């Protein structure tokens, strides 16, 4: 419905004046046409905003050599297929579909348009012209969990979750396991709101979790509403996808930031060099695709030092939050020793002990 | 369950219900006059962003609310001009108003994303508003009390006043009302304006009380629930009040139940509940012999006075 969103129009208008596409520069090569399909509004200040920052990074890097199109607010499911197909028909060379729910629609369109290259975020289905990419958000969750383990007085943290897909499940588990290394009795109370973006509902969910004894709220939904609730009630919270400090200067402990820029630049470069291949990319702290927002002053220095040490451990491979023994909710040992493989993580459908959901 | 949790649940339910109640009250009056305005969502968003922006700039919540109501009314007047004066299709124009509202509120709101304002909280002294038990009566934003007063006001207006009778007459039989000398178009303009102002007020509730912040599509579809609520309430203000709290309870009790560790119903089903309830009520209404509860007879019919 919002193929031509207002900002899109403004931006394309601004960009058009500089684009060789309009024939002003007959010598330049045709720009690589890159399209992005966004789940929410760019103004969510979360997930979609982070992807938009990635696109901006690519524009800053390539300038006139690429021309980009965005479509915001695309509902997951059949509606997205129509949008993706249209972008393919419009002659885009590379299309990024930036949400899990676009997986099947992207695959369907990819099979029809063999010459167009597709990149699907956070999914697991691939094709010769459809790659997948994801970020190791659970690495960031482990750090948030460590901080929560130290900072929570009640030992219970509220976790506002969207949909029980592996990405969200592994985030919950990573957070809980990391916190339990500090406080073995740590509990994570998970509340599913069945939406990626619903500010009033996220605010109500935060209230409900606080009433049940949570003194820190973390979320896997995209709006800053829960942070505002925590700010009002003088509690603590973690931001999502981007630095949300401005919404809650007192409550915002830190946030996992999704830095998609390096990946987008890498993939667009590969298209330019005609070296693009379908692949499954899963980068983390090491590649700079996951980062942390500045730590709140309320976090004691030794906790910050510990968080930084864990981050260094994740980068050099010495720390993995999914190291055995790990028990699931029923108390059954899921992993006696060693580490979970990427395959285990990507199909994770069980919760560790201490998760209430 | 301790009484603090029960009180907190009641307060969350009332918090979630109030904006739906406000928007639905406005729509009820609009529909009673025979106009169907599907643009509630868009008008609410305009109200939400304007209310937030003015409050942020001036620091006065009341000023923000007044200007927000004015802005929403302005957008409603656009709708009224298209559908009443130019007799455009009301359904299509209403949907267009929603899309317009989503777009323009995002555009206007862009500079305000990430800014914070103080919550528009209770005017009662802290000893009452933050009292562990009494806050269930005194702890709300003034808008909650306003919504209750408005419910009774609208009910009284429609049932007991001459102007209310004329409004209903226009909605039930525009030609008769016209032939005895009432301005059908004028009455409908007034009703649509009221609907716009109420939607603006509802929007302010989101951006000044509930979240309090501005982010795109802040209302996340609550306008449609308000629309369903009017039908659910069979166009009666008293039932609207009950319905709003019922819908609010459905939307929030699930969260509290799950946070407390038990889940009794699939969340997807619960999310669909307001709409399902509306369909059931519609079916019940049509089963009744008497048509006393049915929709205004001229709902969504354009009126062209014969000259």
Among the candidates A135, A152, A182, a domain finishes at: A135
Q: How far apart are CA A195 and CA A179, in angstroms?
A: 26
A10-14, A151-155, B24-28, B67-71: lowest mean pLDDT where? A10-14
Q: How far apart are CA A15 and CA A22, in angstroms?
A: 11
How sure is the predictor about A156, in pLDDT bands with cuts at 50, 70 and 90?
very high
| Residues of chain A with C-beta less than 8 angstroms from the C-beta of B256 | 208, 211
Any idea what the CATH number is for the domain that residue A127 is in?
Answer: 3.40.50.2300
Q: Which of A2, A194, A200 to mutate to test the interface with B (most CBs of B within 10 A)?
A: A200
Looking at chain B, the whole-number percentage of residues with pLDDT higher than 70 is 95
The pLDDT of residue A18: 43
Asked if A246 and B259 come within 8 Å (Cβ–Cβ), the reply is no
What average pLDDT score do residues B60-68 get? 95
Domain count, chain A: 2
| Residues of chain B with C-beta less than 8 angstroms from the C-beta of A231 | 116
Strand locations in chain B (E): none
Peptide bond into B154 cis (omega under 30): no
Q: Which two tokens stand for residue A56?
A: 């901006």
What average pLDDT score do residues B215-224 get? 87
Asked if B8 and A248 come within 8 Å (Cβ–Cβ), the reply is no
A64-68, A105-109, B24-28, B296-300: lowest mean pLDDT where? B296-300
Q: Examine the domain organization and report whether A212 and A185 are in the same domain.
A: yes
pLDDT digits (tens, 9 = 90+) for B30-54: 999 999 999 999 999 999 999 999 9
Residues in Cβ contact with B143 at an 8 Å cutoff, skipping those fewer than 6 apart: B18, B22, B65, B120, B201, B204, B205, B208, B209
Q: Examine the domain organization and report whether A188 and A172 are in the same domain.
A: yes
How sure is the predictor about B266, in pLDDT bands with cuts at 50, 70 and 90?
confident
In chain B, which residues touch A (CB < 8 A)? Answer: 4-5, 8-9, 12, 15-16, 19, 99, 102-104, 106-107, 109-110, 113-116, 119, 206, 210-213, 215-222, 251-252, 255-256, 258-261, 267-268, 271
Looking at chain A, the whole-number percentage of residues with pLDDT higher than 70 is 92
- The chain A residue lying nearest B211, using CA atoms, is A225
The pLDDT of residue A2: 42
**pTM of the entire structure?**
0.81
Q: Examine the domain organization and report whether A199 and A130 are in the same domain.
A: no
Distance from CA of A327 to the nearest CA of B (A): 20
Q: Is the pLDDT of residue A10 over 50?
A: no
Number of helices (H), then strands (E), belonging to chain B: the values are 13, 0
Q: Which of B12, B208, B211 to mutate to test the interface with A (most CBs of A within 10 A)?
A: B211
DSSP class of residue A120 equals E
The pLDDT of residue B232: 86
Asked if A44 and B256 come within 8 Å (Cβ–Cβ), the reply is no
- The chain B residue lying nearest A6, using CA atoms, is B103
Q: How far apart are CA A316 and CA A326, in angstroms?
A: 22
B60-74, B86-100, B124-138, B192-206: lowest mean pLDDT where? B124-138
Closest by alpha carbon to A201, among B54, B296, B220, B229?
Answer: B220
Peptide bond into B271 cis (omega under 30): no
What CATH number should be reported for the domain whose range is B3-287?
1.10.3470
Q: Which of residues 43-102 of A touch B (CB under 8 A)?
A: 43-45, 73
A330-334, B159-163, B283-287: lowest mean pLDDT where? B283-287
Q: Examine the domain organization and report whether A166 and A130 are in the same domain.
A: no
The pLDDT of residue B263: 66
How sure is the predictor about B21, in pLDDT bands with cuts at 50, 70 and 90?
very high
**Domain boundaries of chain B, sorted by first residue:** 3-287
Higher pLDDT, A15 or B139: B139
Q: Examine the domain organization and report whether A18 and A123 are in the same domain.
A: yes
The pLDDT of residue B306: 65
Asked if A209 and B9 come within 8 Å (Cβ–Cβ), the reply is no
Element (H, E) at A210: helix A199-211
Distance from CA of B165 to the nearest CA of A (A): 37
Total Cβ atoms within 10 A of residue A357: 17
ipTM confidence: 0.78
The pLDDT of residue A16: 43
What average pLDDT score do residues B207-217 get? 87
Q: Does A281 map to a domain?
A: no
The pLDDT of residue A3: 47
Q: Which two tokens stand for residue B82?
A: 């298209």
Cα A302 to chain center, whole Å? 28
Q: How far apart are CA A11 and CA A33, in angstroms?
A: 15
Q: How far apart are CA A269 and CA A247, in angstroms?
A: 36
Contact status, residue A292 vs residue A143, Cβ threshold 8 Å: yes
DSSP class of residue A325 equals -
Q: Which domain holds residue A28?
A: 6-135
Higher pLDDT, B2 or A264: A264
Q: Examine the domain organization and report whether A340 and A225 are in the same domain.
A: yes
How sure is the predictor about A42, in pLDDT bands with cuts at 50, 70 and 90?
confident
Contact status, residue A314 vs residue A283, Cβ threshold 8 Å: no
Q: Examine the domain organization and report whether A15 and A92 are in the same domain.
A: yes
Contact status, residue A225 vs residue A199, Cβ threshold 8 Å: yes
Max CA pair span of chain A: 68
Query: Can you tell me whether residue B84 is helix, strand or coil?
Result: helix
Contact status, residue B19 vs residue B202, Cβ threshold 8 Å: yes
| Residues of chain B with C-beta less than 8 angstroms from the C-beta of A225 | 211, 213, 215
- Burial of A335: CB neighbours in 10 Å, binned 0-12, 13-18, 19+: middle
Q: Is the pLDDT of residue B289 over 70?
A: no
The pLDDT of residue A13: 44
Give whichever of A76-80, A325-329, B298-302 has the largest mean pLDDT: A325-329
Asked if A208 and B261 come within 8 Å (Cβ–Cβ), the reply is no
Among the candidates A103, A120, A135, a domain finishes at: A135
Asked if B255 and A195 come within 8 Å (Cβ–Cβ), the reply is no
Q: How far apart are CA B8 and CA A207, in angstroms?
A: 8
Angle between helices B162-172 and B142-160 (to 10 degrees): 80
Q: How far apart are the first and last CA of chain B?
A: 67
Q: Examine the domain organization and report whether A26 and A149 are in the same domain.
A: no
Exposure on the CB side of residue A193, measured as CA atoms within 13 A: 28
Asked if A247 and B220 come within 8 Å (Cβ–Cβ), the reply is no
Q: Does A280 map to a domain?
A: no
Closest by alpha carbon to A133, among A110, A167, A162?
Answer: A167
| Residues of chain B with C-beta less than 8 angstroms from the C-beta of A38 | none
Q: Is the pLDDT of residue B2 over 80?
A: no
Q: Does A188 map to a domain?
A: yes
Q: Examine the domain organization and report whether A109 and A200 are in the same domain.
A: no
| Residues of chain B with C-beta less than 8 angstroms from the C-beta of A203 | 210-211
Q: How far apart are CA A74 and CA A2, in angstroms?
A: 8
Asked if B211 and A204 come within 8 Å (Cβ–Cβ), the reply is no
- For the four alpha carbons of B216, B220, B224 and B230, in that order, the dihedral sign comes to negative
Q: Examine the domain organization and report whether A197 and A326 are in the same domain.
A: yes
Q: Examine the domain organization and report whether A145 and A95 are in the same domain.
A: no
Looking at chain A, the whole-number percentage of residues with pLDDT higher than 90 is 70
């Amino acid at each position: 419905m919002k193929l031509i969103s207002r900002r899109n129009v403004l931006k394309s208008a601004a960009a058009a004046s500089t684009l060789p596409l309009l024939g002003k520069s007959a010598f330049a090569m045709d720009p690589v046409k890159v399209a992005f399909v966004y789940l929410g509004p760019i103004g969510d200040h979360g997930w979609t905003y982070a992807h938009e920052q990635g696109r901006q990074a690519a524009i800053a890097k390539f300038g006139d050599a690429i021309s980009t199109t965005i479509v915001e607010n695309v509902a997951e499911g059949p509606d997205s297929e129509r949008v993706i197909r249209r972008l393919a028909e419009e002659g885009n060379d590379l299309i990024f579909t930036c949400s899990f729910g676009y997986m099947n629609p992207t695959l369907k369109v990819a099979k029809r348009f063999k010459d167009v290259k597709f990149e699907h975020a956070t999914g697991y289905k691939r094709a010769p012209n459809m790659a997948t990419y994801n970020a190791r958000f659970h690495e960031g969750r482990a750090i948030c969990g460590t901080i929560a383990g130290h900072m929570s007085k009640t030992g219970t943290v509220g976790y506002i979750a969207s949909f029980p897909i592996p990405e969200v499940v592994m985030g919950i588990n990573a957070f809980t396991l990391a916190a339990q290394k500090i406080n073995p009795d740590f509990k994570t109370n998970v509340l599913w709101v069945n939406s990626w973006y619903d500010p009033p509902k996220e605010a109500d969910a935060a209230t409900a979790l606080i009433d049940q004894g949570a003194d820190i709220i973390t979320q896997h939904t995209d709006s800053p509403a829960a942070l505002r609730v925590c700010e009002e009630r003088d509690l603590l919270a973690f931001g999502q996808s981007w630095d949300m400090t401005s919404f809650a200067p007192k409550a915002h402990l830190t946030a996992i930031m999704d830095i998609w820029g390096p990946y987008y630049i890498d993939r667009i470069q590969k298209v330019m060099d005609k070296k693009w291949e379908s692949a499954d990319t899963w980068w983390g702290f090491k590649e700079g695709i996951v980062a942390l927002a500045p730590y709140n002053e309320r976090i004691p220095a030794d906790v910050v030092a510990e968080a930084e040490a864990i981050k260094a451990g994740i980068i050099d491979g010495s720390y993995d939050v999914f190291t055995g023994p790990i028990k699931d909710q029923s108390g059954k040992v899921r992993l006696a020793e060693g580490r979970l493989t990427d395959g285990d993580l990507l199909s994770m459908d069980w919760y560790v002990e201490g998760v209430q959901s | 369950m301790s009484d603090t949790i029960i009180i907190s649940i009641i307060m969350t339910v009332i918090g979630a219900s109030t904006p739906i109640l406000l928007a639905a009250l406005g729509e009820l009056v609009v529909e009673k006059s025979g106009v169907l305005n599907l643009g509630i969502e868009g008008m609410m968003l305009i109200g939400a962003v304007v209310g937030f922006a003015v409050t942020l700039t001036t620091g006065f919540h009341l000023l923000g609310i007044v200007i927000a109501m004015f802005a929403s009314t302005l957008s409603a007047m656009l709708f009224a001009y298209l559908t009443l004066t130019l007799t455009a299709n009301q359904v299509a124009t209403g949907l267009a108003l929603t899309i317009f509202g989503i777009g323009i509120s995002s555009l206007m709101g862009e500079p305000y994303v990430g800014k914070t304002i103080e919550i528009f909280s209770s005017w009662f002294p802290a000893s009452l508003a933050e009292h562990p038990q009494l806050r269930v009566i005194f702890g709300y934003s003034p808008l909650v009390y306003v919504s209750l007063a408005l419910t009774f006001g609208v009910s009284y207006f429609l049932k007991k006043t001459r102007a209310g009778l004329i409004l209903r007459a226009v909605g039930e039989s525009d030609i008769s009302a016209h032939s005895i000398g009432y301005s059908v178009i004028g009455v409908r303009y007034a009703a649509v304006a009221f609907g716009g102002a109420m939607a603006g007020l509802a929007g302010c509730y989101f951006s000044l009380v509930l979240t309090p912040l501005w982010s795109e599509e802040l209302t996340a579809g609550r306008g449609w629930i308000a629309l369903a609520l009017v039908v659910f309430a069979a166009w009666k203000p008293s039932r609207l009040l009950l319905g709003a709290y019922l819908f609010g309870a459905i939307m929030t009790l699930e969260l509290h139940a799950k946070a407390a560790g038990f889940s009794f119903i699939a969340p997807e089903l619960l999310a669909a509940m307001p709409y399902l309830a509306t369909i059931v009520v519609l079916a019940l209404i049509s089963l009744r012999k008497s048509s006393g509860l049915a929709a205004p007879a001229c709902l969504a019919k354009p009126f062209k006075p014969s000259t």
